[in-house]
Amino acid sequence: MPELPLVDIYTDGSCEPNPGPGGWAALLRFGEREKTLTGRAADTTNNRMELTAAVEALRALKQPCRVRLHTDSEYLRRGITEWLPGWRKRDWKRKGGVLANLDLWQALDAALGEHKIEWKWVKGHAGHKHNERVDKLAWQAMKGG
């Protein structure tokens, strides 16, 4: 079986005030090629924008891939690596009640598909070139640019 292509994905979400208008961005890098995706919402939260960026980035992949998904969102990283299996077992409920952003968590779960994903946390606003780039793109999307 041939090795899956490797794609690096960088995601970020912005919202100001929170809640309020928001934007998201994703950068997909495959070798020397890259693609950026952005979007905005009029009334949202920073967590919804972080999740949306990851969902849209994974949906943009046209075939199964090995993915290194870089995020500065602990909510996204911990949700997918620690909490998701329990939510599935409990029929998408938290021990404490309603699961926030259920629609996006389910969309992300579906978008995982046949990809082999390594979730990587990066410190935000710490000079990481690609993270800074998606941060700027998400901010611009939020502002309508």
Alpha carbons 95 and 84: distance in angstroms, whole number: 12
Q: What number of other Cβ atoms are within 10 A of residue 118's Cβ?
A: 12
Domains and CATH numbers, the chain: 6-142 (3.30.420.10)
Q: What is the pTM assigned to this prediction?
A: 0.95
Q: Which positions ≥6 away from 35 have C-beta within 8 Å?
A: 27, 28, 60
Task: Give me the half-sphere count of Cα atoms (radius 13 Å) on the Cβ side of residue 130.
Answer: 19
> Does residue 47 have a pLDDT over 80?
yes
Question: Which of the residues 13, 22, 23, 79 is marked catalytic?
Answer: 13
Would residue 13 show up in a list of annotated catalytic residues for this protein? yes
pLDDT in tens, 51-105: 999 999 999 999 999 999 999 999 999 999 999 999 999 999 888 888 999 999 9
Would residue 34 show up in a list of annotated catalytic residues for this protein? no
Q: Give the pLDDT band (50/70/90) at residue 1.
A: low
Would residue 72 show up in a list of annotated catalytic residues for this protein? yes
Would residue 8 show up in a list of annotated catalytic residues for this protein? no
- The sheet that has 66-71: what strands, in order across it? 33-44, 20-30, 6-15, 66-71, 116-121
pLDDT in tens, 24-39: 999 999 999 999 999 9
